[in-house]
């Protein structure tokens, strides 16, 4: 679940952010998935996702991360938060997704406990983005 996209940072700023994230305190909490959907750009599906049911603890964690980032001078992410887990990124050759979305509209696997959040660094490449975990932050 992407809680915040930060963008490019110089190494000192990234290190400052990594240290500051360690100050966030919140209890672990259950996460529920319900249904699937997709994101479009210019009428073309770009990603398929599983919807994460909004919850007060998830919202609290997101707000704490946002406040911390704003306090460090990172611009606000003005997109509305839609908690989700990306299942697939799509391109022009991906084919139709309507059948998949219809078959999995009622997706509801067992809930799980969010026991940590992780800071990732992304590296763009010819085959898409590669994500590298930089630091894990346990939840109480």
Instruction: Report pLDDT digits (tens) over 35-83.
Output: 999 999 998 899 999 999 999 999 999 999 999 999 999 888 777 899 9
- pLDDT band for position 112 (cuts 50, 70, 90): very high
**Tokens (6 digits) for 130:** 């590669």
- SS3 state at 101: helix
Task: Please give the backbone phi and psi of residue 112, each rounded to the nearest 5 degrees, phi first.
Answer: -135, 170
48 in helix, strand or coil? strand
Global pTM?
0.88
């Amino acid at each position: 679940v992407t809680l915040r996209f930060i963008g490019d940072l110089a190494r000192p700023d990234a290190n400052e952010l990594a240290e500051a994230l360690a100050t966030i305190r919140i209890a672990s909490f259950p996460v529920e998935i319900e249904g699937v959907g997709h994101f479009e750009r210019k009428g073309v599906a770009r990603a398929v996702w599983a919807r994460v049911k909004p919850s007060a603890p998830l919202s609290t964690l997101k707000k704490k991360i946002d406040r911390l980032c704003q306090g460090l001078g990172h611009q606000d992410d003005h997109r509305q938060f839609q908690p989700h887990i990306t299942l697939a990124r799509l391109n022009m050759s991906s084919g139709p997704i309507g059948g998949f979305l219809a078959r999995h509209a009622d997706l509801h696997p067992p809930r799980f406990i969010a026991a940590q959040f992780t800071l990732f660094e992304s590296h763009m490449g010819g085959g898409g983005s590669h994500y590298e975990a930089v630091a894990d932050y346990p939840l109480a």
